[in-house]
């Protein structure tokens, strides 16, 4: 890593960088940041920069406070929206304990360890996310409706549209930071957009998702708009998900591909999907961590509500997309349950763990479903062995709490804090008296 340190220090000098932002994540996936000057770079690389970890949700136990941030020099990029003069750089950081060991509650550490367990089996985990979000004319204010920036729909080309201008600016910023974008387009809801990142190893993708969220919010503010990754901001409009394509490579070859097999899917790929399905109730609290997440999943607008898989079935939790016969390297599975507001480090960790459990346990993949699962009756779904996902955060947490796989994947400290924090969120939600209750009940009783 020494030469990377030197490269960063040289770039900072050559590009007139005045501030370097050290970025890291809390357990909810919220981006945290501190700024240092170029004179502090050497210390940051060799010793780490001290922070008060007690101020960060879940980062330390009550009797701990001092923590260290050690920047990853491979992630150094200039913040495009800060300009070329008096430039600002950023690096993603690993969080360390005072003795230099990886912090138990660092989400980036959780993913590193999950990837390490797969690498011991000779497997590399790659991900390709499709990230949805809404653009609104102004921030949410109590009692006022949200106003999307347009009334367009899926793939609509809006002439002189603000969303079109927005996507162009956001993509230019992302690509200036060496984050490759594959597609972008208007999504189904009014003011809803999607930006798809090119596939990369899961750690790089998780770093890039945190960066994309920041870029999207910065560009929106610069254009007088407000961006939100909330799973379901409007009752009568689609939620925002993050359909993510997953693949495992072994020895440089796609381990999910088997020429001549059904859908070109290898035995290992089938076992991976079986793991995703069997453990779905256990990891839902991580992939869908908010009370509001379950309004998206059960909101009747094409979000996956049931645990099944299929090929050309967009109601399924897991889909095996079409790939060109000449491109076996593109064999993959698409996981459709993720919120775009999930903590990507933890979400990728639990999805990988579930898939690896399927491989190691040699799970049998149940029959796929090509029916629109929402249109089946409850009796038909039961006959096909199709179970529902948790219907709310409370039920998701009940299953999560009893999962040895989740506890071992996340580690004791993250597991316990996550469970406690989300129970508190549910309790606060349960205590609310909503407008809906007042409208439907007040005058009747």
Token pair for residue 288?
């869908």
Q: What is each CA distance from 322 to 188, 194, 246, 336, 372, in whole angstroms?
A: 22, 20, 14, 15, 18
User: Residues 36, 49: contact at Cβ < 8 Å?
Assistant: yes
Entry field: residues in the chain: 445
Token pair for residue 244?
């993510």
Classify domain 112-439 by CATH architecture: 2-Layer Sandwich (3.30)
Of residues 282, 251, 293, the one with CA closest to residue 355: 282
- Residue 39 per-residue DSSP state: G
Q: Is 404 exposed, middle or buried (0-12, 13-18, 19+ CB in 10 A)?
A: exposed
Tokens 């957009």 belong to 193
Q: Tell how far CA 162 is from the center of its chain.
A: 26
Token pair for residue 21?
């932002």
Q: Where are the domains of the chain?
A: 1-103, 112-439
Please work out, in degrees rounded to the nearest 5, the angle formed at the alpha carbon of residue 389 by the alpha carbons of 275 and 286.
70
In order along its 445 residues, the chain shows pLDDT tens digits of 567 888 998 988 888 899 999 999 999 999 999 999 999 999 999 999 998 776 665 555 544 567 899 999 999 999 988 877 789 999 999 999 888 899 999 999 999 999 999 999 999 999 999 999 999 999 999 889 999 998 876 545 554 456 678 889 999 999 999 999 998 888 889 999 999 999 999 999 999 999 999 999 999 999 999 999 999 999 999 999 999 999 999 999 999 999 888 888 999 999 999 999 999 999 999 999 999 999 999 976 678 999 999 887 778 899 998 765 555 567 899 999 999 999 999 999 999 999 999 999 999 999 888 767 777 878 888 888 889 999 999 999 999 999 999 999 999 999 999 999 999 999 999 999 998 899 999 999 8
Sort strands 192-197 and 123-136 into parallel, antiparallel or unpaired.
antiparallel
Its pTM stands at 0.94
Q: Distance from first CA to last CA of the chain, Å, rounded?
A: 69
Cα(94)–Cα(32) distance, integer angstroms: 12
Token pair for residue 11?
């770039």
Determine the topology of domain 1-103 in CATH: Ubiquitin-like (UB roll) (3.10.20)
Confidence at residue 222, expressed as pLDDT on a 0 to 100 scale: 93
Confidence at residue 340, expressed as pLDDT on a 0 to 100 scale: 96
């Amino acid at each position: 890593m020494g030469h990377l340190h030197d490269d960063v220090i040289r770039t900072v000098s050559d590009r007139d960088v005045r501030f370097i932002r050290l970025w890291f994540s809390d357990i909810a996936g919220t981006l945290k940041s501190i700024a240092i000057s170029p004179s502090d770079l050497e210390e940051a690389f060799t010793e780490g920069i001290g922070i008060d970890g007690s101020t960060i949700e879940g980062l330390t136990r009550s009797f701990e406070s001092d923590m260290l941030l050690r920047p990853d020099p491979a992630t150094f990029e200039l913040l495009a929206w800060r300009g070329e003069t008096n430039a600002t750089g950023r690096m993603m950081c690993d969080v360390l304990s005072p003795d230099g060991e990886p912090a138990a509650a660092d989400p980036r550490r959780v993913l590193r360890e999950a990837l390490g367990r797969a690498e011991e089996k000779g497997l590399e985990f790659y991900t390709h996310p499709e990230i949805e979000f809404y653009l609104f004319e102004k921030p949410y204010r109590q009692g006022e409706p949200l106003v999307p920036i347009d009334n367009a729909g899926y793939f609509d080309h809006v002439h002189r549209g603000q969303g079109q201008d927005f996507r162009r600016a956001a993509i230019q910023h992302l690509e200036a930071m060496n984050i490759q974008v594959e597609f972008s387009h208007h999504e189904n809801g009014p003011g809803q957009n999607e930006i798809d990142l090119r596939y990369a190893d899961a750690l790089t993708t998780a770093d890039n998702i945190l960066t994309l969220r920041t870029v999207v919010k910065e560009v929106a503010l610069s254009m007088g708009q407000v961006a939100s990754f909330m799973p379901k901001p409007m009752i009568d409009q689609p939620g925002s998900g993050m359909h993510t394509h997953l693949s495992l490579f072994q020895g440089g070859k796609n381990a999910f591909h088997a020429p001549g097999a059904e859908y070109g899917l290898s035995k290992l790929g089938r076992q991976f999907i079986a793991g995703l399905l069997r453990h779905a109730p256990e990891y839902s609290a991580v992939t869908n961590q908010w009370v509001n997440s379950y309004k998206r999943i059960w909101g009747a607008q094409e979000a996956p509500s049931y645990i099944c898989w299929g090929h050309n079935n967009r109601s399924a939790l897991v889909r095996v997309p079409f790939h060109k016969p000449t491109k076996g390297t593109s064999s993959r599975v698409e996981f459709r349950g993720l919120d775009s507001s999930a903590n990507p480090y933890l979400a990728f960790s639990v999805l990988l763990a579930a898939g690896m459990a399927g491989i190691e346990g040699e799970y049998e993949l149940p029959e796929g479903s090509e029916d629109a699962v929402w249109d089946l009756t409850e009796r038909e779904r039961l006959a096909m062995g199709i179970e529902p996902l948790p219907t709310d955060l409370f039920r998701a947490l009940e299953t999560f709490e009893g999962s040895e796989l989740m506890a071992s994947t996340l580690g004791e400290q993250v597991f316990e804090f996550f469970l406690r924090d989300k129970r508190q969120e549910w309790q606060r939600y349960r205590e609310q008296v909503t407008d809906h209750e007042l409208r439907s009940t007040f005058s009747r009783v």
